Structure 1
Amino acid sequence: MSTLPEAPLQGATLKAGRHDPSGRIRLLVSDIDGTLVTRTKELTPAVLEMAPRLRDASVQLALVSSRPARGMDMFLQPLGIDTPRAGLNGGEILAPDGSLVAAMALDPQVARIVVETLDEHGVDSWLFAEGSWLIRRPDGAYVAQEHRAVQLEPVVVDSFASHYHKVGKIMGSSADYHLLERVEKNVQTLLGDRVNAHRSQSYYLDVTHPDANKGRAALHLADLLGVPPAEMACIGDMSNDIAMLQVAGVAIAMGNATDEVAAAAHFVTDSNEQDGWATAMERFILPRSPGYGRPGEAA
């Protein structure tokens, strides 16, 4: 069996300032948008080829996303995924058969304050509650894009007033990225430990239950699969991914990640437009897998 690479190869940088990366990985927890898929929400041939190689090397693949859990169904069959998955940044976890394992909802009063704050700043808001996607403006700037991405039909309502119970996530969307960055900080400061507010894209702000974050979600997935955190790798690109990078045995940031995310990772790979996900698997996950060097897996 070959030893681990002494240094990262071109296009992937080892980051300092945190514990050393683990030498053994049996689970990869992956973000989707900006990480696993391209800007057009597609799985590249390299990603599709890498998924069975992970399985052959005894590395399980689990997905965690700001999407509702049902909004990642289209990736399960192409990637051969039969593991639990976490949606709404950990606000809901589904078993492999799609049944609900766990869910967290915002306090109704807190949910109302969040929506009012977004309204005050001119940020379009959506609610994700009990499997439904609720919107007030079907002509909102990012509604059609989100519909294509998650393949869920939005439910149009005149008001959110009667829908604040069991809200798993509030999403704010705006084409003014700098405004959304300011609103992110404003919401977190205003509500403190009553919410978890992070952008999942430059144009999306996710607000969830304070305990609903990708770090807790990744640990929950690892526990369900019987894998210790030290043998779990995580990969992502946005600030909502930092919590899971911080608990991973191997933490990988995409090349398109923000500087803050890159600083939380052991390695930085190429961007999602340059097959950075597949590159990271080849360089940092497969060499640490239980099956590395077996017949059929290059040593």
Structure 2
Amino acid sequence: MSGVTQHPIRFLLSDMDGTLLLPDHSLSQRTLEAVRSLREAGVLFSLATGRPPKAMLQMIEALGVDVPTAAFNGGTIVNPDGSLLVAHYLPATAALTTLTLFADQPGIEIWVFSGGDWLLKDPGGPMVPREQHGLGYPPVKVESFEPFMERIDKIVAASANTELLIELEAQLLPLVDGQAQVSRSQPVYLDVTAMQANKGEALATLAAFLGVPLEQTAAMGDGGNDPAMFHRAGFSIAMGQAEEAVKQQADVVTGANTEEGAAQAIERYILNR
């Protein structure tokens, strides 16, 4: 967050789940029209999400995104056709520390994303159907995560027990300090990625690639991984259903995603600027 500013916005970077998307992972017509209006007004638009790249392709096409996007919280930056621009992998030492801690926690599902695949040991976990619906493709069952340790994009602890994830986040942070980013992308997901894999770095990388000064950028999101881009953007927008700690780090708060808050924000704060 850099304070409310009157600089014209030339580039908007938006989160997906909980921001652009409704709870059923769909896009409303109003949101589609708002993004279309951005492009018509000459404002560049892109996505930054904790999702893997291939879980973004449908939304990229639906929204008409024609610039690079950031997956895995910024750990991977890809062209609209899915080809790779930048990749930051989780250090093997941090991955081992994370997996060891998570393995000792009852009620936690452990997911590893590597090489475009969603890897897990137990495909029958209760959180799996939700994630599969959101991603649009099934997981791959593995006996061990060890063969993938050198090319891990993201590790996720998933649980409906949000208090447990908050406690787990506090335990893990000092163990991987300086090695990895740890944040809750949604209340039920705790994400662990490389240090460079954060949405703030993604915003700066994309803005430089597009030739847009940071003071002429805006960021919009709802999760614990979104303030990283709020602090780098010239203007920041939090969704109405976001946790209070997230909202306090944004310049303005819009409606909830169930109220088409992203479209509201685009119409009010970007197009009318």
Instruction: Report the TM-score, using the length of structure 2 for normalisation.
Output: 0.97
Could you tell which deviates more after superposition, 20-29 or 193-202? 20-29
Q: Distance in 1 between matches of 2:6 and 2:174?
A: 35
Are the counterparts in 2 of residues 91 and 209 from structure 1 also a CA contact under 8 Å?
yes
Deviations 1:240-278 (A, max 9, x none): 000000111110000011111111111100000001000
Report deviation, 1:158: 1.2
| The structure with more radius of gyration | 1
RMSD: 1.2
Equivalent residues in 2 for 1:82-161, closer than 5 Å: 82-122=66-106, 123-161=108-146
Query: C-alpha offsets along residues 89-133 of structure 1, whole Å, 9 cap, x if unaligned?
Result: 011000123210000111112211101101111221111112111
Q: Deviations over 1:185-221 (max 9, x none)?
A: 1111222111100001111000001121000011111
Maintained 8 Å contact 1:92/1:103: yes
Q: Which residue of 2 aligns with 1:186?
A: 171
**Contact 1:22/1:230, CA 8 A, preserved across alignment:** no
Q: Take 2:7 and 2:71, find their aligned partners in 1: how far apart are those partners?
A: 28
Query: How many residue pairs get matched?
Result: 272
User: In structure 2, the residue corresponding to 1:170 is in which secondary structure?
Assistant: strand
Deviates further, 242-251 or 103-112: 103-112
Q: Structure 2, unaligned stretches of length 5 or more?
A: none
CA contact (8 A) 2:20 2:27 kept: yes
Counterpart in the other structure of 1:39: 23
What is the CA distance between 1:18 and its match in structure 2? 4.9
1:145-197 CA-to-partner distances (Å, cap 9, x unmatched) read 11111113311101112221110110110111100011011111222111100
Checking the alignment, whether the CA contact within 8 Å between 2:109 and 2:127 is kept in structure 1 is no
1:199 aligned onto 2:162: no
Alpha-carbon separation, structure 2, partners of 1:97 and 1:223: 20
CA distance in 1, matches of 2:128, 2:59: 21
Structure ranking higher in helix proportion: 2
Counterpart code for 2:227: I
Inter-partner Cα distance in structure 1 for 2:242 and 2:75: 23
Cα shift at 1:20? 2.9
After the TM superposition, list the runs of 4 or more consecutive aligned residues in structure 1 that deviate by more than 4 angstroms: none
Report the secondary structure of 2:86's partner residue.
strand
Task: Say if 2:228 is the partner of 1:228.
Answer: no
TM-score by length of 1: 0.88
Provide the C-alpha distance between the structure 2 equivalents of 1:21 and 1:69, rounded to a whole number of angstroms: 32
Flag structure 1 segments of 5+ consecutive residues without an equivalent. 1-16, 289-299
